[in-house]
């Protein structure tokens, strides 16, 4: 793997207007206003923060993984990546990243995909799409609007031979990714509860979520 470029932020958590810890297995929905900065901190290391983005005023405009990759011509997200909507607008831009690589091809685990990937009897296990479904439903948004997500802190390389692999994580405790909202954005997170995959060492851990106002230097 090539060297990753790590960019730190100078924002001070003490000046954040929102600061909370999201335990593993829980969902979250929150509006990040235009100009505000949003940070996700991997508290335990190699935790997948599965994240969806919507235009907060019109949920039919939403994050598009393929349009985002097409725009930057690269499958990995890091500082400078513009998170694009299905209408060709920038929702967020990543402004700092101390992990260096995030995935948007691996999607979110679901009861049904766990059955396919691991075993038919895994249907009962908690999953990201369960958390997405309920977080979206709390704002009156249905499965029809659920789309492909970003997996912050996940390492899912594609090889030149066209293999998709889930590699050991490259994040660690305290690593973070930070992004600035280009419009009013509804952010939906499932802090991944996956217990069948070594990417998080079979140990889902909390993430810290912070928002800074537009007037913070």
Partner 1 sequence: MAPDTLLFEEELRGGASFAHVLKRGTALQITDNEGGANVPITFFNFELLVERYNMPDTLKGQHTAHLTKGHCIYSDMGRVLCSIIDDTVGWHDPIGAHSTDESVKAKYGEHSYQEFRNDWYTSTRQNFLRELAKFNMDRRDLQAQINFFSKVQVDDDGRMKFIPGNSKAGDSVTLRAEMNTLLIIDTNPHPLDPSPVYKPKPVHLRFHRVDPPAAGDLCRNSCPENTRGFINSERYFL
Give the residue among 47, 43, 164, 177 at the shortest CA–CA distance from 101. Answer: 177
CA-CA distance, 5 to 31, in Å (whole number)?
A: 29
| Minimum distance of partner 1 from residue 32's CB (angstroms) | 22
- What's the distance, CA 83 to chain centroid? 11
Q: Is 14 in the site for partner 1 (CB under 8 A)?
A: no
Q: How far is CA 69 from CA 53, 116, 150, 158, in A?
A: 15, 26, 11, 13
Q: Is 158 in the site for partner 1 (CB under 8 A)?
A: yes
> Which of 67, 93, 201, 208 forms a contact with partner 1 (CB under 8 A)?
67
Of the ranges 8-16, 37-45, 109-117, 201-209, which one interacts with partner 1 (CB under 8 A)?
109-117
Angle at 85 between CA 72 and CA 128, to 5 degrees: 100
Binders of partner 1 in range 164-183 (CB under 8 A)? 164-166
To which H or E segment does residue 52 belong? strand 49-55
> Which of 75, 93, 170, 201 forms a contact with partner 1 (CB under 8 A)?
75
Long-range contacts of 65-73 (CB under 8 A, 24+ apart): 65/104, 65/105, 65/147, 65/148, 65/149, 65/150, 66/148, 68/104, 69/104
Q: Is 140 in the site for partner 1 (CB under 8 A)?
A: no
Of the ranges 31-39, 106-114, 184-192, 207-215, which one interacts with partner 1 (CB under 8 A)?
106-114
Q: Is 185 in the site for partner 1 (CB under 8 A)?
A: no
| Minimum distance of partner 1 from residue 146's CB (angstroms) | 8
CA-CA distance, 27 to 132, in Å (whole number)?
A: 6
Q: Is 106 in the site for partner 1 (CB under 8 A)?
A: yes
Q: Is 65 in the site for partner 1 (CB under 8 A)?
A: yes
7 DSSP 8-state letter: B
Give me the residues that bind partner 1 (CB under 8 A), please: 1-2, 59-60, 64-67, 69-70, 73-76, 86-88, 101, 105-108, 110-113, 115-117, 119-120, 129, 142-148, 156-160, 162-166
């Amino acid at each position: 793997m090539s060297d990753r470029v790590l960019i730190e932020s100078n924002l001070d958590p003490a000046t954040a207007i929102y600061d909370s810890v999201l335990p593993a297995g829980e969902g979250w929905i929150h509006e990040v206003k235009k100009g505000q900065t949003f940070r996700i901190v991997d508290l335990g290391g190699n935790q997948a923060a599965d994240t969806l983005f919507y235009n907060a005023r019109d949920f039919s405009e939403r994050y598009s993984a393929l349009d985002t990759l097409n725009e930057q011509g690269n499958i990995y997200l890091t500082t400078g990546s513009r998170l694009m909507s299905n209408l060709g607008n920038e929702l967020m831009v990543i402004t700092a990243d101390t992990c260096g690589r995030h995935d948007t091809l691996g999607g979110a685990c679901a009861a049904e995909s766990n059955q396919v990937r691991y075993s038919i009897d895994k249907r009962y296990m908690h999953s990201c799409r369960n958390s997405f479904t309920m977080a979206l439903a709390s704002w009156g948004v249905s499965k029809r609007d659920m789309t492909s997500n970003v997996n912050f802190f996940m390492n899912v390389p594609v090889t030149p031979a066209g293999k998709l692999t889930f590699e050991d994580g490259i994040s660690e405790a305290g690593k973070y990714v930070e992004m600035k909202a280009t419009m009013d954005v509804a952010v939906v997170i499932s802090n991944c509860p996956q217990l069948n995959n070594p990417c998080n060492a079979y140990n889902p851990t909390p993430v810290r979520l912070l928002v800074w106002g537009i007037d913070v230097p």
